[in-house]
Structure 1
Amino acid sequence: MSALTVTVVTLTFTQCTRSGHHTTVTPQSISSRVAATPAGLTLDGHPWWPTGFNAYQLASNHALNPGCGATNDPEAYFASLPPHSLTRFNAFAALAVNVDTGRADFRAIDDVFAAAKRHDQFVVPVLAAGDGACEGDHFKDRDWFASGWHSTPASLHQTFSQWVATAVTRWRNEPTLAGWTLVGEPEPLICTSFDCGESARRCPDDATAVLRRFVDTAGDELRRLDSQHPIWGGQTGGGQCGTAGDEYTTIAASPDMDVLEYHDYGADGVPLPGDRYNGLARRIQQAKEVAKPLVVAEIGENAGSCRSLQTRADNVRTKIIGQRQAGTDGALLWAWVPDPRPQDCTFDIGLGDPLYSVVADLAEP
């Protein structure tokens, strides 16, 4: 990915993507301060090993949209961060719907970008969730990844393909943008229930092929609108349907995926969790094989009633140091919330949590 400013088109025109969906492209001058290279991420042309938080609720404002969790104050959030932190947040189509009128209303997501810009922070918007959270809870199954993403209208009466075009066109020139995630934790399962619970799912034989076609085609549509910002993979990385074992390499090799992911839960204080087929050590090796950076984009450990915040911070510090030594390219913690529940055992991270020191101490530069 280049960090140079380029002119994408000179005239307004309509393009036909691989899927057959027509997208109107308008003249824009797009640049990216963040690039993905075989040696890792860069910021303004310099090596960057980012740390930060998943603040998935950040665009929730119940005065404007249905929300995804509690109402947030993006200004206060970004003001609290160490310099040049990285934040993943939900930028779903459902969060661009006005709660009163049902019409398009981008203000809550706009506010996230504006606050990040004022504080020179960086964000990766996630454009949809694989499990359907905050989007009607309808699990995105095999059929969705095969065709539904560009044929089935959802929020704003848009298909997902149309939402990608809407979102990318609106925010592609934001100086805080560190890339895009199409779908968080995609799994092309066959489901026998709406929410695809554990007992109602089956992994089809063609899961990897279906997911690769989606990554290639949806990524191509995004790339035609924004050729400069990295596309993040969103993978859980622990052996899920379509990305188990060597299948992870098949997906990671897509030319329309620039940053690979691993999501780390349930191995508190252990730098390299998992087995030799689906563990983090194997994913690091696979990332090197395809010459792409790998970020541990979710690290979650419970605290509150079950262990102290400081103990969690110590465990996470140990984990991130070991992961970086093993070859990862960044670490993001799950999950920052405006209303942490210290009386419960949760992943909640609030203002003043000792994890702030971990984020500040381990970031580079």
Structure 2
Amino acid sequence: MGFGGLSSAFRVRLVILAMALAGTVAAGVVSAAARSEPGVDFLGRRGTALLWGGTQYRFVGQSVSGLIPCQQRSPVPAVSSPSAPAVAGNAPLPAADLTAFFGSLRTSGIVRTWAPPGAGAAEVKRVVAVAKRFGQRVTLVLGTGNDGCSPGGRPEWYRDGYQATLLPWIRELVPLLRDEPAVAMWELAAPPPAGLSVAELRGFYDTAGAEVHRLDPNHLVASGSGGPAAASAGDWKAVHESGQIDVLTMVDYDMNDGAAAQLATAAATAAELDKPLVVAEIGVYASRDGDPKASLDPARATDTACVDWKTRSARIRAKLDATLDGPVAGATVPRAVRGGAVTACAAAVVSADDPVLTVVHDYTQGGELPPPASAVAAPSAAPSASTSPPPPAPAVPGGLTGKPAGSGQVTLCWSKAEHAAWYSVFYRDTNTGQEWQRMAFPVTNTCWTGDYYINGHRYEFKIRGAGPNGESADSKVVAVTPAAPRPGTLTLTGEPAKSTEIKLCWSKAVNATGYNVYYHDVTAGQAWTLMPYPVDALCWTGAYFTNNHTYELKVRGANGDGEGPDSNVVTVVPRP
């Protein structure tokens, strides 16, 4: 029996399961309440609303396949799905392509992408780091629903197969990113297939979700569900009552001009459970010019016919309007970042010139979605993220100071700005007449050290408070001239060596890469003279001094940016 049509007998079994797991589930509920409002650096929740920087947050973003390659070869045939086309190729996406993708998005957005077992942890971290540079957060989908790389759930995987693949992957990846605020949330797996009981799916969410929360107290966990079937809303609710699930998800491939048929049921369930609802994918089957003979679902050939890009963009706009006219916390549109044939029909965006991307970009202007008119005209019985006023703009950061921090390095510090979730740093090189430049990544702390500046050049810096509701005005400007640290002091000893020779030894000077030896013949009234070559050791023997003359010697540490202070002076008289 499929999950969408479970009998009451399965509900009885769920009650028995809940009794058996009472301690685990109760603990999950408590932990969910404790983690619902983390520090401002992390995405949190309050009831049905998501929080960013302590304020309610709604988003429209992209659900992107191909950002993170899956390195393993699937032991089972890859099953394509409209929600996430199989990744083309196993090579990491070039840095220039990653930068171009995240650089094309509005800041303060969320990108959903796949990071299943087989995707190297280093590559996941690389993608998250680039997203962070551009003020984006990433929802990471941890499982495909099978033992391979391509989405396509198999019932046996959700029953117990995940324990051999997903749980070890969670234990490897999650601790590496638990303290990374550029991760928006974890999503457990692709939408489950038919053939699962409530107890089986609830067991999967309880076990996998608990493992993520055990390793990571900072991030929310989303289910990855495709949404409630028409006849099984109660079963969907029973599954999502799990204390290990913080965010409910659904997908919309109805391809009409309005909200998905299951949205009302899903939203009501989310309100009853007091958890946010995210529409993880809103897709419409299309190619550049359309193909009326092709359809995504032959059983609904007319409704799911392949339309042209212009028609799809209009439908996506209408669907977003309808979907976000209520308590939905966010929505994403599917995209294959590695592209595809523009003449082939697909539910995912395959080209950067698809007008759907403009629709998504417009919806993320300023980061926070404005509340739809109908949402504020009449209050709903269910909590709604759209009924709160937009968060105030960040205040101007005060107390900006700057100082050199090392060779080519500058450290800035400032006071925390009210309503700022992060900060934007601007700089210019006044020696070269450079225009103001924005640093490519946001800063979440109130101190920051930058490098690769030119020693001896004068730089000016200013910052702005930033957050989901935009940026503040400029702070005051500070000037800093980076310089390499000069070598430190050293202690010198000297003695006669063989005839006409003098031996010196000294202690190591901090930051010195070499040493300069100075001498003068006191007997002959000679001025201080620098030896013509530097010394890279801590002892040195010089020759051709005049026996029985009194010499004074000193040493300075040196590096590429100059010399340190004089050592103590030693007096040596070479003897025959």
Range class of TM-score, shorter chain: 0.7 to 0.9
| 2:191 equivalent to 1:164 | no
2:175 & 2:136 partners in 1: Cα distance? 21
Amino acid at match of 1:44: G
Alignment of 1:1-365 (within 5 A): 32-60=41-69, 68-70=87-89, 72=93, 73-96=97-120, 106-130=121-145, 134=149, 139-142=153-156, 144-150=157-163, 152=164, 159-187=165-193, 203=195, 207-239=197-229, 244-271=232-259, 273-274=260-261, 279-304=262-287, 305-306=289-290, 307-349=307-349, 350-363=351-364, 364-365=367-368
Amino acid at match of 1:286: T
For residues 276-308 of structure 1, the C-alpha deviation after alignment (integer angstroms, 9 at most, x for no partner) is xxx111111111000011111101112213133
SS in 1 for 2:61: strand
Q: CA deviation at 1:254?
A: 1.0
Larger Rg: 2
SS in 2 for 1:325: coil
For residues 314-361 of structure 1, the C-alpha deviation after alignment (integer angstroms, 9 at most, x for no partner) is 111111111111321111001242323211111232323222222232
Q: Which residue is 1:194 aligned to?
A: none
TM-score (norm 2): 0.48
SS in 1 for 2:65: coil
1:165 & 1:319 partners in 2: Cα distance? 38
1:214 & 1:128 partners in 2: Cα distance? 12
Question: 4+ residue runs of structure 1 moved beyond 3 angstroms?
Answer: 64-67, 137-140
**Paired residues of 1:81 and 1:356 also in contact (CA < 8 A):** no
TM-score (norm 1): 0.74
Amino acid at match of 1:296: V
Q: CA deviation at 1:250?
A: 0.7
**Paired residues of 2:201 and 2:239 also in contact (CA < 8 A):** yes
SS in 2 for 1:357: helix
Amino acid at match of 1:257: I
**Paired residues of 1:186 and 1:235 also in contact (CA < 8 A):** yes
1:146 & 1:312 partners in 2: Cα distance? 37
Q: Structure 1 residues 287, 146: CA separation in 2 closer, same or farther (over 3 Å shift)?
A: same
For residues 200-248 of structure 1, the C-alpha deviation after alignment (integer angstroms, 9 at most, x for no partner) is xxx25xx1011112211221111111112110110001429xx932111
Q: Which one has more relative contact order, counting CA pairs under 8 Å at least 6 apart?
A: 1
For residues 66-117 of structure 1, the C-alpha deviation after alignment (integer angstroms, 9 at most, x for no partner) is 6932453322211111222211111112122xxxxxxxxx332222111101
Q: Structure 1 residues 338, 345: CA separation in 2 closer, same or farther (over 3 Å shift)?
A: same
Q: Which residue is 1:197 aligned to?
A: none
Q: What percentage of aligned pairs have identical amino acids?
A: 28
Q: CA deviation at 1:147?
A: 2.9
2:325 & 2:312 partners in 1: Cα distance? 20
SS in 1 for 2:280: strand
Amino acid at match of 1:250: A
2:208 & 2:331 partners in 1: Cα distance? 26
**Paired residues of 1:34 and 1:178 also in contact (CA < 8 A):** yes
2:124 & 2:355 partners in 1: Cα distance? 28
2:72 & 2:207 partners in 1: Cα distance? 30
Q: Which moved more, 1:338-347 or 1:115-124?
A: 338-347
**Paired residues of 1:82 and 1:359 also in contact (CA < 8 A):** no
1:338 & 1:351 partners in 2: Cα distance? 10
Q: CA deviation at 1:176?
A: 0.8
Amino acid at match of 2:317: R
Aligned residue pairs: how many?
295
